Amino acid sequence: MREIRNIFVSKPNALSPPQKSFCAELTKHLRNRGLQPRTLGETDFPNSTPIQAVKDVLGICQGALILGFKQIHIVKGYSKVGTDKERKIADEFLPTAWNQLESGMAYMQDLPLMIIREQGVSGGVFDVGITDRYVHQAELTAEWLNSERFLQPFNDWFSDVIDKPPARTVAALGFTDPSR
């Protein structure tokens, strides 16, 4: 029996139907490889502040998957208001702010990162060149998850995850194993 490896999955709590379907298919891919997704409010419900809970759950994970889904739609507005870099923006999509926080914390813990964004999402970790990882633009379909555009980088990331020992054990933090 192979060892189950915990993977922190950063994603919003509220998902559209296509986003939910995509996550369900992605979860199958993870579990088929012996990876256990860990997401606050879904698999883990700690009795601590959210930021401490993120730190604790990341501490038992061997990798992180950052899913940038459309959460905020800016129809018309401005960025960098009141500065010499102020600009008009229109029809832009932003992810949950928690993606930024969780990806930064995972990066600081030196966890292997795989960053995937829904088409149209930008900002922070989803901007090209911000981290040492490529930002993958997903088509929210099972076909994309079975394509080489996903599988080749997923296999590379998976190899990094397998080589990464957990910093702490699940039991040490009082968490339960959601796979049981």
Is pTM beyond 0.75? Reply is: yes
Is 130 part of any domain? Answer: yes
Domain annotation covers residue 58: yes
pLDDT of residue 12: 95
Kindly report the number of other CB atoms within 10 A of residue 94's CB atom: 19
166 occurs within a structural domain? yes
pLDDT tier at 62, thresholds 50, 70, 90: very high
Number of domains forming the structure of the chain: 1
Q: What is the CATH number of the domain that holds 88?
A: 3.40.50
Look up the domain containing 11 and give its range.
5-173
pLDDT at 126 over 60: yes
Is residue 118 assigned to a domain? yes
| Domain assignment of residue 161, yes or no | yes
Using 50, 70 and 90 to split pLDDT, how confident is the model at 70? Answer: very high
Do the domain assignments include residue 180? no
Per-residue pLDDT at 174: 56
94 Cβ neighbours under 8 A, 6+ residues apart: 70, 71, 72, 74, 121, 122, 123
Is 91 within the bounds of a domain? Answer: yes
- The pLDDT confidence band at residue 127, using thresholds 50, 70 and 90, is confident
Structure confidence at residue 180 as a pLDDT band (50, 70, 90):
low
Is 178 contained in some domain?
no
Check residues 72 and 171 and name the one with the higher pLDDT.
Answer: 72
Average pLDDT, the chain: 90
Confidence of residue 162 (pLDDT cuts 50, 70, 90): very high
pLDDT grade, residue 166 (50/70/90)? low
